[in-house]
Amino acid sequence: DFDPRPSDQFTFGLWTVGNPGRDPFGEAVREPMAPTHIVAKLAECGAYGVNLHDNDLVPFGASAAERDRIVADFKAALEDHGMVVPMATTNLFGHPVFKDGAFSANDPKVRAFAIRKTMDAIDLGVELGASTYVFWGGREGTEADACRDPREGIKRTREAMNFLCEYVRDQGYDLRFALEAKPNEPRGDIYFATTGHMLHFIETLDHKQMVGVNPEVAHETMSGLSFVHGVAQAMEAGKLFHIDLNGQRIGRYDQDLRFGSEDLKQAFLLVRLLEGTLGGERYEGPRHFDAHAYRTEDEAGVWDFARGCMRTYNILRAKARAFDADPQVRELIAEARDEGVQALTRSYSSENAAALRGLELDPAGLARRGLGYERLDQLMCEHLMGVR
């Protein structure tokens, strides 16, 4: 049975199932949904939690009293339905004040406003129980690149991240940051275009141990990159703090489709990696769907969409377990073991280097061997097609 349970740790953003279907050419096709209603419906679907931007819950410019009332109602709904808020983030892209970016904007007053808005949103997230805080710099970029030295954009973003890390420490919050890359949209070119860019940037921060990444399927795929490889690099570095799952075709706009609805093979390989069925460490954090229903759907279609994301994940998890337990698969991926040779190149010493020089290797013989990857990939396809 593939129906989702809270123990699967599936989460959705308020902005995802709440997406009214507006696009650059067309108006909303669905009514806005109250956050408390979303909490109730997601719980009914089997989700574990819900994530939010500050303004998904508290409208921009709300009074303190209004904010407190909204937050109290929302907390009551979470409690009633046994839902949690594992991640929160800031909307630093919707308001026109951010038209030149937020942390990287040329006007220091805009940057100050962005940092202050984020401090408030961090307080809100922590109040709701979030342990991960996401930064997606959708407006941090350019169309007219002549407007600034791009190195300034990077330096200002670093200053903002360092400032906000200190803020979290000063408040004594138990909160980690997760940086989300995207190559373009809404800006022509967004700074830190890929997860790899982010991973390097993190190493330049004052408190790098509290900062990781939040890769999104659609964002790496848009650039034609392998999402699985990006996630693997993040995991290997101990930096996969959160993940945004959805579906996307290469070369399209940011589609944010139902998880697994495009490129099932990549989706399968991703779930296999996250679940650790091949071996290696499993990703233990929430499985967050940053996706939305087709514009053709009414509210019932939105919940079909949400259940679809979660069921597909669970089905792929079962497939990944079966694949990695398949004796034919195991035989094909069993690594050639020659411990003696392996030991020589594991680390440098002058003895190892000398032994390596003396080693008899037969490149022509090695090159002649077929590796059986056709059979392996076909086996994977047959697992996916349900005939094994």
Active-site positions read: 53, 56
8 A C-beta contact, residue 217 and residue 269: no
3-state helix, strand, coil in the chain (%, to 5): 50, 10, 40
Evaluate the CA torsion angle 229, 311, 285, 212 in order and state its sign. positive
The rounded distance, in Å, linking the Cα atoms of 34 and 12 is 15
CB nearer to ligand GLT: pick between 246 and 266: 246
Distance in Å, CB of 15 to ligand GLT, minimum: 6
Residue 140 within binding range of ligand GLT, rule CB under 6 A: no
- Residue whose Cβ sits closest to ligand GLT: 136
Residue 103 within binding range of ligand GLT, rule CB under 6 A: no
Q: Could you tell which of ligand GLT, Mn ion, none binds residue 259, using a CB distance below 5 to 8 A set by kind?
A: none
The rounded distance, in Å, linking the Cα atoms of 178 and 86 is 12
Site size for ligand GLT (CB under 6 A)? 10
304 assigned ligand-binding residue: no
Q: Could you tell which of Mn ion, ligand GLT, none binds residue 128, using a CB distance below 5 to 8 A set by kind?
A: none
CB nearer to ligand GLT: pick between 53 and 319: 53
Q: Could you tell which of Mn ion, ligand GLT, none binds residue 89, using a CB distance below 5 to 8 A set by kind?
A: ligand GLT
Place of tokens 């693997």: 232
The rounded distance, in Å, linking the Cα atoms of 292 and 128 is 23
What's the one-letter identity of residue 218? Answer: A
Residue 134 within binding range of ligand GLT, rule CB under 6 A: yes
Q: Which of 89, 157, 266, 314 binds ligand GLT (CB under 6 A)?
A: 89
374 by Cβ neighbours in 10 Å (0-12 / 13-18 / 19+) ranks as: exposed
The rounded distance, in Å, linking the Cα atoms of 12 and 30 is 18
Distance in Å, CB of 288 to Mn ion, minimum: 8
Site size for Mn ion (CB under 5 A)? 6
Residues 10-49 that bind ligand GLT (CB under 6 A): 15
Binding-site string for Mn ion from residue 270 to residue 309, where x marks contact by CB under 5 A and - marks none? --------------------x-------------------
CB nearer to ligand GLT: pick between 8 and 290: 290
Q: Which of 103, 286, 290, 317 binds ligand GLT (CB under 6 A)?
A: 290
Phi and psi (nearest 5°) for 287? Answer: -100, 100
Q: Which of 57, 218, 271, 309 binds Mn ion (CB under 5 A)?
A: 218
Angle in degrees, 0-180, between the axes of helices 299-325 and 373-384, rounded to the nearest 10? 140
Alpha helices in the chain (DSSP H): 14-17, 35-45, 54-57, 64-81, 108-127, 150-171, 195-202, 217-222, 227-236, 264-275, 299-325, 327-333, 339-346, 350-358, 363-368, 373-384
Instruction: Name 246's Cβ contacts closer than 8 Å, sequence gap at least 6.
Output: 216, 217, 218, 255, 256, 257, 258, 259, 289, 290, 291, 309
Residues 179-198 that bind ligand GLT (CB under 6 A): 180
Residue 256 within binding range of Mn ion, rule CB under 5 A: yes
Instruction: Name 23's Cβ contacts closer than 8 Å, sequence gap at least 6.
Output: 295
8 A C-beta contact, residue 11 and residue 50: yes
Stretch of 64-72, 132-140, 162-170, 320-328 lying at the interface with ligand GLT (CB under 6 A): 132-140
Residue 8 within binding range of Mn ion, rule CB under 5 A: no
Residues 227-286 that bind ligand GLT (CB under 6 A): 244
Strand 49-53 and strand 87-89: the pairing is parallel
Stretch of 130-138, 165-173, 261-269, 334-342 lying at the interface with ligand GLT (CB under 6 A): 130-138
180 assigned ligand-binding residue: yes
Binding-site string for ligand GLT from residue 54 to residue 73, where x marks contact by CB under 6 A and - marks none? --------------------
**Interface ranges with ligand GLT (CB under 6 A):** 15, 53, 89, 134, 136, 138, 180, 216, 244, 290
Q: Which parts are annotated binding residues for Mg(2+)?
A: 180, 216, 219, 244, 290
Q: Which parts are annotated binding residues?
A: 180, 216, 219, 244, 290
**Interface ranges with Mn ion (CB under 5 A):** 216, 218, 244, 254, 256, 290
